[in-house]
Structure 1
């Protein structure tokens, strides 16, 4: 029932200090491409190819490069620790990450392929904060830090959050840091269907241009991406570099008022370290990753409960939600304003319609959210996320017959879709179909035993069905995991 976060492929890029004593610093790079997330419908096409191409270019530029593909949380932690261990005062440290990213608590997180994200605290538990990584690199003596983040994708985790915070957040980074995201703050972009991202393609083209400094390369990359995407994708840059830095080992820094930039040292290029094997796979789905990680086993099929009885058995309660804010009242919201601009140019932009529907739903503008999800489905009739989110919103406002159709369609398109089971369970609970609600919540909890909303909903349904002790136990366990769950359900009109 949760509205997805719209979020992420992230890259980080660190480079050595601007002081004269750093002139002899070595250049180290960690390049990560994460493509095979079991929670996604299909592997991402771009990250692996992009990571390999970036690694090859950095080797030519004098970096000692480690490459990681489809890294788990343990794999990413070991890769970062290995990088930290190499850095000495004067070193250049670069991290490139392409995959999914999520904004949480005003920080941007890089997500490993085995992340189990069902609530926002899971992001901070399983993800890797960009700010933390930059801080760790800085504390080990790297003077110039550059973070390039290509993680502004619509990701498979965002549907699990009832709050909405799309894209990536601004970075509070140490001095001597250059940060670039592949898209604007708090915005997401659709995959272009290519084997390489537009962002990396433009970045590599500019890096290969002789006699350009790093800031100029990134600014030219931003211009190239903006033009090629017809302003649909505008990268974001933030810099606190004290002087010029050149990616090219032979690039001569240009004069500036700051101290002269140190020439990069000649270093030996080492082959990339193989990524470590992943831990046990997530329970929901599994797709066989390309080497080096072995393929996780496919989970057992879970039999879906039969759909609830047809329309005549459902009693429509009176709407219990407060009046929705109007489109005019929300027009000044920066995220909505940006999406409005996109939709003015292309009213059939399904991704923008979907994202605006999420924002409207998170702000209680349910009628507007339903309209946007409906228009998104008109353009893309197989968008299971839009069906599930419309089911959830319709359930909240009490349009239960329509909600049931949406949830059933989502489950037809994606059997065992845990969020649609959770949403349909709520719909059954509101309509008084307690046995069907228990069946839906049971199925959802078999897939994810930590899904608090299904656990709490099942407890309510069990109590209504006469199993008081079992229901009280579910409710107590759900409240222990999420103390706000009672208030949340009361806002849905369920107590």
Structure 2
């Protein structure tokens, strides 16, 4: 459920975070550390990843993590290692991933590359690589409270010369609530191995992890400063955080008072129109009559407007991803990819009005961008602009039939607008493509119950909650209970 998981980021106004998680204190800390150095397509093995992985694993063990370490893993071995990590997750536990090797960005996602990957086209990246967003989403669906990804993969890789169109480095990650991500270098940039046995990034990371009384964000910020200074500004690590609870790498670190946030956006956001929940919408362009919910069914549908939240500068204008993307847009206002990615981040933080504005710009530059159309459909659905949302989803599905994310989004549109039979049809179609799509499973359960199939609906809802404990809250945030 890439779209839903990506947009579950909670809006956090605390700047300094500290360790208070019961799960973290009692030792429910799990880490997967991978060092990949021997890529057959590379001219020579990388010197740093194995040593870095071993040192990071040893440090994490000292800090109470249950660590599995893998070296020179194939695609199958990496997937099995991640499956073992998923299986160990307990509700509220801490999960950490460290990866050193080659990484590639494709289709606006970052992929970790196994040593046996056969990559000649971008499609091969998505086939053989491991999506970082997918991994973080799976950890979240298993109930992990704190999710940390440390990725040292911003290297010039041997595959790029094979692509007609190539984006260097790694892409911004849009991750679930409770996630802290750090790349060893800035977005879309690469660095060269320094010729030593350890990377500069890991040297500084281990130095800061060992400092007592530091919170996780502070530890990584100090690491970024250390790397930047040591490289004379040539290497600047990238950090993104949506931590919703306090955490420190060193167990038992005492809490510090959070820094209050009182700033507001300089430009007040414009609210989107919110049509009546009972508005009857057309499923898709056709001559068939639209489904009209009976009066008693309309009365049974509980639709709530999503809460209106303020968007402090610290969480938006000062967000490192937004700052980077905004700088790119200052240089080139028609950077369609930057508009799309910034829209994603705005939406993930609840700034739907700003997100829709960026998606508007992205679609203006590329009217056939089905990803942007689907995201705008979702954002408009959450804000209640159901008629426009349905139009976006229909267009995305016209351009890409059986686009699972758009089917899932259109199911939500139909559910919110009371067209429960159409909602069931959309969720059914999405689940045929991806049976583990929890948002479609939960939405289908709600729609079935409203159609009178209570037992079937309850079963779908129970299965969805078993796969993702946060799914009910997710739908409540959409305004549907």
TM-score when normalising by structure 1: 0.49
Structure 1 residue aligned with 2:170, among 153, 158, 179? 153
Please say if residues 137 and 176 of structure 2, whose CA atoms lie closer than 8 Å, have aligned partners that are also in contact. no
Please say if residues 103 and 111 of structure 2, whose CA atoms lie closer than 8 Å, have aligned partners that are also in contact. no
The Cα of 1:214 is off from its aligned counterpart by 7.8
Structure 2 residue aligned with 1:120, among 121, 131, 136? 136
Mapped pair 1:325 → 2:310? yes
The alignment partner of 2:305 has SS state of coil
TM-score when normalising by structure 2: 0.51
Distance 1:446 1:215, change over 3 A: closer
1:125 and 1:399 map into 2 onto residues whose CA distance is: 28
Distance 1:461 1:414, change over 3 A: same
Distance 1:326 1:100, change over 3 A: closer
Distance 1:471 1:148, change over 3 A: closer
1:125 and 1:472 map into 2 onto residues whose CA distance is: 19
Please say if residues 6 and 137 of structure 2, whose CA atoms lie closer than 8 Å, have aligned partners that are also in contact. no
The superposition leaves residues 114-140 of structure 1 with CA deviations (integer Å, 9 ceiling, x where unpaired) of 7587573525899x9876x9xxxxxxx
The Cα of 1:345 is off from its aligned counterpart by 2.2
Structure 1 residue aligned with 2:433, among 442, 447, 450? 447
Q: Which has the larger radius of gyration?
A: 1
The Cα of 1:428 is off from its aligned counterpart by 0.8
The Cα of 1:385 is off from its aligned counterpart by 1.6
Q: For 1:83-482, list aligned pairs within 5 A.
A: 96-99=101-104, 110=112, 113=128, 115=130, 120=136, 122=138, 147-150=152-155, 152-154=169-171, 163=177, 168-169=181-182, 181=184, 183-184=185-186, 188-189=187-188, 199=190, 203=192, 235-236=236-237, 307=284, 320-326=305-311, 330-482=316-468
Distance 1:100 1:314, change over 3 A: farther
Distance 1:375 1:109, change over 3 A: closer
Mapped pair 1:71 → 2:48? no
Structure 1 gap ranges (5+)? 7-28, 34-47, 59-66, 79-93, 102-107, 134-146, 171-180, 190-197, 219-225, 239-305
1:331 and 1:235 map into 2 onto residues whose CA distance is: 19
The Cα of 1:442 is off from its aligned counterpart by 0.8
2:135 and 2:417 map into 1 onto residues whose CA distance is: 26
Partner of 1:14: none
The Cα of 1:235 is off from its aligned counterpart by 4.5
The Cα of 1:352 is off from its aligned counterpart by 2.0
Mapped pair 1:487 → 2:473? yes
1:314 and 1:345 map into 2 onto residues whose CA distance is: 49
Partner of 2:4: 2
Aligned residues: CA RMSD: 5.0
Structure 2 gap ranges (5+)? 9-34, 48-70, 83-98, 115-127, 156-167, 204-227, 240-282
1:347 and 1:54 map into 2 onto residues whose CA distance is: 41
The Cα of 1:486 is off from its aligned counterpart by 1.5
The alignment partner of 1:52 has SS state of coil
2:153 and 2:405 map into 1 onto residues whose CA distance is: 32
